[in-house]
Chains A and B, each alone.
Chain A
Amino acid sequence: MVRLPYVTALTTLFSYGLLFAFGQLRDFFRRILDAGKSSNLKGYAPICLGLEDFYTRRLYLRIQDCFGRPIASAPDAWFDVVERYSNDSNKTLHCTEKTSKCLNLGSYNYLGFAAADEYCTPQVIESLKKYSASTCSVRVDGGNTKLHVELEELVARFVGKPAAILFGMGYVTNSAIIPALVGKGGLIISDSLNHNSIVNGARGSGATVRVFQHNNPAHLEEVLREQIAGGQPRTHRPWKKIIVIVEGIYSMEGELCKLPEIIAVCKKYKAYTYLDEAHSIGAVGKSGRGVCELLGVDPADVDIMMGTFTKSFGSCGGYIAASKEIIDHLKHICPAHIYATSMSPPAVQQVISAIKVILGEDGSNRGAKKLAQIRENSNFFRSELQKMGFEVLGDNDSPVMPIMLYNPAKIPAFSRECLRRNVAVVTVAFPATPLLLARARICISASHSREDLIKGLEVISKVGDLVGIKYFPAEHEKATSVEKKLKKLHSIALFTNTIIQLLLLAAGVKEES
């Protein structure tokens, strides 16, 4: 959890208050200046009324250059960031032709498959020539190729479940599967910090949604007991089914889910579990099989495991792995399977090749090396940052590490200063995080070498000093400051001693003479 010092909280609130006040002032003047002009809406209601887009107009646009930076090369360990300029204080940004080579600490490239790979890319190009870029058809009509069937079997084997089903986009996987599993009369209990796709899916399903405190199995048990005893709202009929949705690694906190405890609670109360492993599949675990392997949970205990191919496999799309009956049922009913274009064949081939590399089935040990590399890199980076005095969230072994910034002015300061020194970081503020808890999020990759990480640490340390985000100076720094104080006292004592001696000598000389 985040330890927020009082002074920091107060100053952050004050900063937001000031920004809000200035925003209102500018809106006021804008209203006066526009009162004379006739509106060009001609009777249509405006797209955003009143304060709906206040945050966008008055806060986000001022620091717009920190977000959405275009790149001109593959998102590998080093990439080219396109430079942009603005003529009207960040309201519109224009790209230039110049690019600057920066260290990439922001892309989701956990195993280094983002750039052209020696094993994967030739196979992808071959599948492009054979199957072309798209099948132009839904999976149930004419979009089912041999590659799709092969990948479903491979994913099921990799994750440790009997069967799997593919979708072309990770976001759609969540929003279209949850309504197919539970409808009106069911209950969804989801973690309070779940991703937007899960929230949308839960809302679209028509079931009742309850939230439990982030990563707190005791509170989950409380909520379960209360809900089962109470039944459906108003009618008090018993619930048809209860699904608990958690994520493997939470992308804004870098924390691992407390999976064994949550599974134990769910088993006790006969609730179904749905695990979203978007960030953890391929990135954690001894052989890359995700949070279940890392925490020692049997995949058969989790009812439905969901994941995406965007982060660790360098492709696009998502999958659901579960028992054969559930997958057959989903193939029959899930709208994303029946109405959506099937996954692009080259992307499917990329995932097949990536999984083969991870499992070692391509005949080399690159997979094992990559997995060891990312674990080593994450642990090294995290411990170094903590030694420097930054407030870093997240558990050990997790490749996602947020560094707390808190103050809204530090967000663009950190981002721009790092970019000036050729390090590209991602800063996140409201609404992706709570208002007071803005942060910079680092994503480590297996393709970062030790020198890259050391350079990154140097730059972040320097910028951290400039911006003032080293909230918890470490112990040995305190010790050195004590030493420094002692040294100072010592030198003052020596000095005073010398002066007294001189005075005494002068007096003595006087006395003598």
Chain B
Amino acid sequence: METVLPVANATAAALARVSAMFNAPLARAVVFGVHIDGHLVVEGLLIAAILFQLSRKSYKPPKKPLTEREIDELCDEWQPEPLCPPIKEGARIEAPTLESAAGPHTTVDGKEVVNFASSNYLGLIGNEKIIDSCVGSVEKYGVGSCGPRGFYGTIDVHLDCENKIANFLGTQDSILYSYGISTIFSVIPAFCKKGDIIVADEGVHWAVQNGLQLSRSTVVYFKHNDMVSLANILEKLTHGNKRTEKIRRYIVVEAIYQNSGQIAPLDEIVRLKEKYRFRVILEESHSFGVLGKSGRGLAEHYGVPIEKIDIVTAGMGNALATDGGFCTGSARVVDHQRLSSSGYVFSASLPPYLASAAISAVNHLEENPSVLANLRSNIALLHKELSDITGLEIASNILSPIVFLKLKTPTGSAVADLELLEIIAEKVLKEDSVFIAATKRSSLDKCRLPVGIRLFVSAGHTESDIFKVSESLKRVAASVL
């Protein structure tokens, strides 16, 4: 108690002195009429310290670009891969050589064979009238057209051919392309740009896949020919999405799938398209001139008015026995392609004799609708004959002119399957003089459907041809599989 009091007194006195000092008139300096209190000095020092730290750069390790010598060393060390990988032993590269026209009977490597490897559905190869019109064209116009469509490559036969096809199908206009597969992979990027939505079947062939990739749109695949899967995907894409009014949306299907022989159910697709407001791009390479009462394609077959299909493309290298392709639809659709489709603008036009061949072929189809009946009876007969073949089963639709035979028990690897099928095809050719083809796949192809043997039935085949091929296949398949 006695020591505390003087300490307390001393502390109080010290505090009083300090506060007096702070309250002393000396501390209350007046600078430019502003009273400077002591705490302002402390705050000023703090602010100065903060500013000093902010003004210093953060530490980054210095970046030195590579010197010329280092770049030289890197360039010397770098070793590229060889331009092409070595070919595996025993890979089949050379195809059999034809020595005459690829009609229902042809000559391969010196002997007469029955030909089921050409998609000559209406039997027009070797037709006299068509060849005469081609000869006339060659004599008048020469072989090539020597220019793109925009620069004097438009010949009057091209315009006639476009009109003929548009009239035949009942559409407003059509546009010719100079090569079958370039049609679809030029049409798709012309209409679909980055940001659009495309719903495509997973079994579409390579040209369609290439078009989808070039278009840079968002692509969603649905299960092969499965309408339930398509409906689900359409629902998911449009559900609650308010911006779908501005985005272009497309469904891409093939009428007859090259990779499986299935036929797309067009009436169901049109119903879905109208419900969800998608446009349809229909690839009709193998169904134009085949399906429908008069050969006008899938729309006629299902009784759907052609105006409901927005864009129809087809290659003419199948039923029409010529080369090139066309695209048809409304006038707006066709006009748009004349300036923005790269395969049309930047490429030479179709040789004129092929365009006159197309015109004659369509004329022939209009005048002789009985060829379709021949074709259908041939397909039905082949289906009947092949229904009990060992080891293979028919995977295609009864109406499809591509009869697709796949293995009943696949080995698990597409390459091994293909080996087996190629052995069958070779044996059939060597022993029975029947020329068939197994589906070959490029490694750039993304399709995962099973490989098989494709038989292209033609209206020019006779019944004995059909019996011959089915017997030969049954025999060889039984021996190999």
Give the interface of A toward B (CB within 8 A): 42-45, 47-49, 53, 56, 60, 67-76, 79, 81-82, 95, 104, 106-109, 113-117, 120-121, 124-125, 128-137, 139-146, 149, 168-172, 175-176, 179-181, 195-197, 200, 203-204, 224-225, 228-229, 238-242, 269-272, 303-304, 308-311, 313-316, 325-326, 328-336, 338-341, 344, 346-347, 350, 424, 426
- Give CA–CA (A230, B154) in the complex, Å: 48
Cβ B181 vs Cβ A229 within 8 A: no
Other-chain contact of B179, A168, A238, A315, A330 (Cβ < 8 Å) = A168
Give A415 to B153 CA distance when docked, in angstroms. Answer: 16
Task: Tell me whether B442 and A339 are in contact (CB under 8 A).
Answer: yes
Say whether B142 contacts A314, CB under 8 Å. Answer: yes
19 A-B interface contacts by CB (under 8 A): A42-B277, A71-B155, A113-B142, A129-B131, A130-B101, A132-B101, A132-B127, A133-B130, A137-B119, A140-B95, A143-B102, A145-B98, A168-B179, A200-B342, A228-B71, A310-B146, A325-B86, A326-B83, A328-B93
Closest to B191 in A: A47
B66: chain A residues within 8 A (beta carbon): 229
Contacts of B214 in A (CB 8 A): 200, 203-204
Q: Which of A47, A228, A309 has the most CB of B within 10 A?
A: A47
B272 within 8 A of A: no
8 closest Cβ pairs, A-B complex: A142-B117, A329-B84, A341-B317, A141-B437, A169-B179, A171-B347, A137-B118, A144-B95
| Contact A133 B80, beta carbon cutoff 8 Å | no
Taking CB atoms, residues of chain B closer than 8 Å to A340 are: 179-181, 207
Structural contact, A181 and B151, CB atoms closer than 8 A: no
CB within 8 Å for A315 and B102 given contacts A114-B146, A133-B322, A347-B144:
no
Contact across chains for A114 and B78 when beta carbons are under 8 A apart: no
Bound-state CA distance A315–B323 (Å) is 13
A225 CB, min distance to chain B CBs, angstroms: 5
**CB within 8 Å of A: which B80-122 residues:** 80-81, 83-87, 91, 93-103, 106, 115, 117-120
CA distance A204 to B154 in the complex (A): 29
- B contact residues around A106 at 8 Å (CB): 147, 151-152
How many B residues touch the partner, as a band? Answer: 35 or more
Evaluate whether A331 and B93 lie within 8 angstroms (CB atoms) in the complex, with A43-B245, A144-B98 already known. yes
- Known pairs A136-B118, A242-B80, A315-B144. 14 more at Cβ < 8 A? A106-B151, A107-B151, A114-B142, A131-B101, A145-B98, A171-B179, A171-B347, A196-B345, A229-B74, A303-B83, A316-B145, A329-B84, A341-B315, A350-B144
Residues of B197-251 at the interface with A, using a CB-CB cut-off of 8 Å, are 205-207, 210, 213-214, 244-249
Q: Is the CB of A344 within 8 A of B93?
A: no
A47 to B311, CA, bound (A): 12
Q: When chains A and B are docked, how far (Å) is the Cα of A176 from the Cα of B180?
A: 14
- Chain B interface, DSSP helix/strand/loop, else mixed: loop
- Given the known inter-chain contacts A45-B247, A141-B117, A145-B97, please indicate yes or no for A341 contacting B156, CB distance below 8 A: no
The answer to whether residues A172 and B150 also contact, given A47-B333, A143-B102, A328-B93 and a CB cut-off of 8 A, is: no
CA distance A68 to B338 in the complex (A): 10
> Given A48-B336, A134-B354, A346-B134, do A74 and B97 touch, yes or no (CB 8 Å)?
no
Task: Report the Cα distance A336→B210, complex, angstroms.
Answer: 11
Known: A121-B139, A196-B342. A133 touches B102 (CB 8 A): no
Are A73 and B140 closer than 8 Å at their CB atoms?
yes
B125 near A344: Cβ-Cβ < 8 Å: no
Across-interface contacts of A120 in B (CB, < 8 A): 143
> Within 8 Å CB of B155, what residues of A?
70-72
Query: Residue B263 at the A interface, CB < 8 A?
Result: no
Q: Which chain B residues have a beta carbon within 8 Å of chain A's beta carbons?
A: 66, 70-71, 74-75, 78-81, 83-87, 91, 93-103, 106, 115, 117-120, 125-127, 130-131, 134-135, 138-147, 149-156, 158-159, 178-182, 185, 191, 205-207, 210, 213-214, 244-249, 277, 279, 315, 317-318, 321-323, 332-333, 336, 338-340, 342-343, 345-348, 350-351, 353-354, 357, 435, 437, 440-445, 456
A136 in contact with B120 (CB, 8 Å): yes
A128 touches B210 (CB 8 A): no
State A114–B120 Cα separation when bound (angstroms). 29
Contact B351 A347 (CB under 8 A): yes
Which residues of chain A are within 8 angstroms of B181 by Cβ–Cβ distance?
A: 172, 336, 339-341
Contact B147 A108 (CB under 8 A): yes
Which chain A residue lies CB-closest to B139? A116
> Complex formed: what's the CA distance from A69 to B149 in Å?
8
Q: For the complex, give the distance between the alpha carbons of A330 and B437 in Å.
A: 20
Docked complex Cα distance between A156 and B119 (Å):
30
Question: Would B146 and A314 count as touching, CB distance under 8 A?
Answer: yes
- Least Cβ–Cβ distance between B242 and chain A, in angstroms: 13
Report which of B151, B435, B445 forms a contact with A335, defined as CB distance below 8 A.
Answer: B445
On whether A132 and B102 interact (CB within 8 A), knowing A75-B142, A316-B178, the answer reads yes
Q: B322 touching A134 by the CB < 8 A rule?
A: yes
B102 touches A136 (CB 8 A): yes
Selected from A47, A48, A113, A136, the residue in CB contact (under 8 A) with B318 is A136
Nearest CB to that of B278 among chain A residues? A44
Q: For residue B78, give the distance in angstroms from its CB to the closest CB of chain A.
A: 5
Bound: A139/B150 CA distance, A: 30
